[in-house]
Structures are given as structure tokens and as C-alpha cells.
Amino acid sequence: MRLEFPKKFLWGAATSAHQVEGGNHNDWTEWEKTTGHEESGRACDHYNRFRDDFDIAKFLGHNAHRFSIEWSRIEPEEGRWDEKEIAHYQEVINALRERGIEPFVTLWHWTLPVWVAEQGGWENKKTIDDFARYVDKIVRSLKSVVYWITLNEPEIYTTNSYLRGKWPPQKKSFFKFLKVYNNLAEAHIKCSKLGFQQIGIAKNNSYFEGWLVPVLNYFWNNWFLNKIKNHQNFIGLNYYFHNRIKGFKLNQNENKETSDMGWEIYPEGIYYVLKNLKKYQKPVYITENGVADVQDIHREKFIKEHLRYAHKAIQEGVDVRGYFYWSLLDNFEWDKGFWPRFGLVEVDYKTMERKIRKSALEYAKIARENGLEI
Ligand code: FCB
């Protein structure tokens, strides 16, 4: 059977600054050092090699690409703009456009300038104003960008940093969690008034099964979106997780197939998660979906199956307009370090050599044909 995707569908991959650029100095690099975690260091040296990497994306038939701007580069000290860094991101955008690739630009993918972290990060209301000022500067500087994503996965960040207390700033407190969550929503709403062409967030939603579904759906999948629903042009969906609840236990999945991270591979879930977004009546871009798979034995099927279920949701009226595989390159996976291999392209961290994985060529075929055979 052949599955055709809607005309002008966007096909690409996603990255984030801290995970690929190298040479950053922000609250995460400080945390990596002080806690003895693996350091992001040079990462993929994408900061210097972005043109070569975009040549690869073009070769792979991508017509869109999601990346993030590193706030700590733009405003290393409060109120001091680094125009050279703004010019760097303009070059990144030009390099994409020259290759016929539409940029999707994320403004905050979890890292903060050190001075922002020192004033209490997102716990401090002042950070909302500081963020909006940085966003305003960027939007006025990088005028050619159409698609903007203010925040990446506010719920994953607040959960890991404040509910579980595992990520910087490791402040475990339910009240802080709530405060940060609300401040992030407020920050998005404030930024939404800054004259973007198209604005949204990247929201990590899960497919839940079991008796707690209404509660979990509400709090995990819809709560943040409900807060910002009148202040977005599109919804960015990051889909990775299925969560089956038995009794009072979460995560009782069958785990027939898992990634190298131990995450269950459950493509059908993307269908339900997309259907749940239909009520917002906004275009949806799948801004992340991917698998850690060093041997490249799951990736091709992973992509095809997720697309099959995304296609089913499209057939049933969900306005899905793009798919960004996570990630273009192997990269620095936060507290896990470099071992998880999510890339369409393998990176040798010693030589920085890039090697295209077989599954990437299969995905390229889909992108070029705007459809797939199953
Ligand atoms: C998502 C993050 C992204 C990456 C993938 C594996 O939650 O947005 O940066 O780490 O998971």
C-alpha cells in the first residue's frame, strides 16, 4: 500500500544548540563540570561544520530543519548583545535557505546563560522579561524566519529539574515545579505578542493507557497547551513515549521492542497523541520523533511505522504538516552523555567524521517521494 503525504509536507530532522554546537558556556556546562557528568565539550562541532551538515541534510532530501539558538551566546552578560553570534545564526539560516531547507528555530532548548541561572532561572519572574527581551532582539534581527518555537518541552524540563531534581538546577520541590511551569507559560504568552509570523512550542506528549488516562492526559498532555492555546499558530509535537498504567503503577509496558535507552518502541501511540491534539484546531508539526539505535537495526522501521500512524491521523482530519526526525546527528544526550546514538548520521567524536546511516537513505526516499510504500 502506498501512503501519500499532503502537498508541501515538510521533511527534516531536529537538533538543539547545546547538544550539537560545542564550545558553549551556560548553566548546563557548569553543571556538567561541578557534578562530574560527561561534558558536552566540542559536542559535534556543528557550530563550525553546519554548512557540511546541511549539505548532508540536502543530500538526504530534507526540505526543513529544526535547530535552536543558544541564549548564552547571544547575551553572555545581562544586557550585552553579542552581534557576532547573531550574525552566526543569520549565516546558519542563510545556509539552510541556500539549500532549499526551511528553518524552524527554537529559542529555548533547556539551557540558560549563567547570569540567568544565578538569578534563579525560571523561578524568578524577572527571567520572563529577560527572555522576552532576548526573543525580541532575535526576532527583529533574524527577520526571514517564518517558524519559531519559543520553548522546547516545558513539561520534561520542569519534571526533571524540579519534580525529580535530577537536572540543573536540581531543586526538588513541587512548589518550585509549579512556579517554573507557570512562568514558562507566561513567558510564551508574553513572547507571542512580539510579531512572529508563526509561533508555537514543542510539546512532549505521551500515549497513556489505563484507568488514570483522563488525569494524565489532562496534566501531562493538555495542561500547558490549554494555558497557551490562544497564543500559538501551530503545535509542535515531540513523541517518544507510551505509558501503560496498571493499578497504581506507571510504565507497565510490554516492551516487546525497545531502543538503546530502554524506551519502548510504540509507533501506534503517535496516532492517539495526534488525535488528542485535533481539538486545538491548529496545524501540527511533529518536531521530534526518534530512536537511540547504535546498530541501526530499528531506525528504518521506527520511522516508517510512526509515519504510517501519523498518516492515519491525517486521514482522520488532523492537520499534520511536517515531520522532524530526532536527530540529524548523533549528539550529546543531556545527563546521559554521548553514548545514545539518535542520529540519521553517525558522528565519530574523535575525528568528527560524519557517516550516513542506511536508515537515513530510506528516510531520504520518503522525503523525496513525499510518501512511502508499506
Ligand atoms: C527530547 C529532547 C531532545 C532529545 C530527545 C532524545 O526530549 O527535546 O533534546 O534529548 O528527547
Distance CA 325, CA 331 (A): 13
Q: Average model confidence (pLDDT) for the chain?
A: 98
- In percent, the amount of the chain with pLDDT more than 70 equals 100
- In tens, the pLDDT along 137-163 reads 999 999 999 999 999 999 999 999 999
- In tens, the pLDDT along 205-246 reads 999 999 999 999 999 999 999 999 999 999 999 999 999 999
Residue 94, pLDDT score: 98
Distance CA 179, CA 267 (A): 33
Judge whether residue 98 has pLDDT over 90. Answer: yes
* CB-ligand 1 contact for 28 (6 Å cutoff): no
Residue 150, pLDDT score: 98
Q: For 6-15, 110-119, 210-219, which range has the lowest pLDDT when averaged over its residues?
A: 210-219
Catalytic site residue 288? yes
Residue 275, pLDDT score: 98
Band the pLDDT of 265: cuts 50, 70, 90.
Answer: very high
| Domains contained in the chain, number | 1
- 2 C-alpha to ligand 1 centroid (Å): 30
Judge whether residue 18 has pLDDT over 90. Answer: yes
Residue 206, pLDDT score: 98
Pairing between strand 10-14 and 2-4?
unpaired
Residue 93, pLDDT score: 98
Residue 315, pLDDT score: 98
Distance CA 60, CA 324 (A): 13
* CB-ligand 1 contact for 155 (6 Å cutoff): no
Count of CB atoms within 10 A of residue 187's CB? Answer: 25
Mean pLDDT of 239-260: 95
The answer to whether residues 19 and 40 touch, using CB atoms and an 8 Å cutoff, is: yes
- The pTM score is 0.98
Band the pLDDT of 248: cuts 50, 70, 90.
Answer: confident
- Give 19-22's long-range contacts (Cβ < 8 A, gap of 24+): 19/43, 19/44, 19/109, 19/327, 19/331, 19/332, 19/333, 19/334, 20/44, 20/46, 20/67, 20/327, 20/329, 20/331, 20/332, 21/45, 21/46, 21/47, 21/70, 22/46, 22/47, 22/48
Return the CATH number at 272: 3.20.20.80
Distance CA 135, CA 81 (A): 12
Domain of residue 135: give its range: 2-373
Distance CA 105, CA 152 (A): 11
* CB-ligand 1 contact for 149 (6 Å cutoff): no
Distance CA 47, CA 91 (A): 11
Best mutation site among 153, 159, 293, 338 for ligand 1, i.e. most ligand atoms within 8 A of its Cβ? Answer: 153
Residue 328, pLDDT score: 99
Which one from 288, 362, 369, 373 is the annotated catalytic residue?
Answer: 288
Mean pLDDT of 17-31: 98
Q: Which residues make beta-bridge pairs with 371? A: 4
- 1 C-alpha to ligand 1 centroid (Å): 32
* CB-ligand 1 contact for 127 (6 Å cutoff): no
- 68 C-alpha to ligand 1 centroid (Å): 12
Mean pLDDT of 37-56: 98
Ligand 1 nearest atom to the CA of residue 156, by list position = 7
